[in-house]
Amino acid sequence: MSSIGPFYEGWRKANSRLIDGVAKLADDQLGLQVGSYWPIWALVGHLAGARVFWLCDVLKEAGAETTPFRDAAHGGWEDYPDQPRAAAELVGALETSWKIVERCLATWTPEMLGEEFPREGTAQIHTRQSVLMRLITHDAFHAGEISMVLGRHGLPEIDLWRPGARTV
């Protein structure tokens, strides 16, 4: 049985570039926002926390305890606007939540992608594949918002696909 990891290589690269971009931002830059959008720090925290919620709470994967989001189903950093997060904390959240993603990609096989999981408290049923697609698009959506906020403030975007960037 082979893992699904190679099929999602681009996601790993995008995550590395997001980490690199967030790590370079100063606290005042992380607090930037446009209109009613969350500040950048809240967007990053939400992105990382959603990974933990979907993989650990919905799909029952292990690892939430290794992240800052031990109870992702009951609130994330974005729910506490008076507690902004610094770059090192955000990078840690992205890295620890990515380790859960990485383990799933390394151990799940194509045959496992269709397995169904009920979402507690709802009538919704999700598959591993539907959660992966949700997370990939969720990451991309919020990375785009982060770049939009940076651009509106005259700062360079975080380009998830630039050639030659780190791909750890």
CATH class assigned to 11-152: mainly alpha
Mean per-residue pLDDT over the chain, rounded: 93
Predicted pLDDT at 140: 96
Domain edges within the chain? 11-152
Residue 167 pLDDT greater than 80, yes or no = no
Q: Which two tokens stand for residue 75?
A: 């609130």
Higher per-residue pLDDT: 35 or 135: 135
The percentage of residues in the chain with a pLDDT greater than 70, rounded to a whole number, is 96
Most distant CA pair in the chain, distance: 49
As a whole number, mean pLDDT of residues 29-48 equals 95
pLDDT on residue 72: 83
The rounded distance, in Å, linking the Cα atoms of 12 and 94 is: 11
Q: How far is CA 141 from the centre of its chain?
A: 10
Q: What is the mean pLDDT of the segment spanning 87-106?
A: 98
pLDDT of residue 37: 82
The tokens describing 126, both together, are 């999700």
Model confidence at 71, pLDDT cuts 50, 70, 90, reads: confident
Query: Would you say the C-alpha torsion 42, 48, 49, 51 has a positive or negative sign?
Result: positive
C-alpha distance from residue 127 to each of 12, 77, 117 (Å): 21, 26, 6
pLDDT of residue 164: 61
CA distance 125 to 64: 21
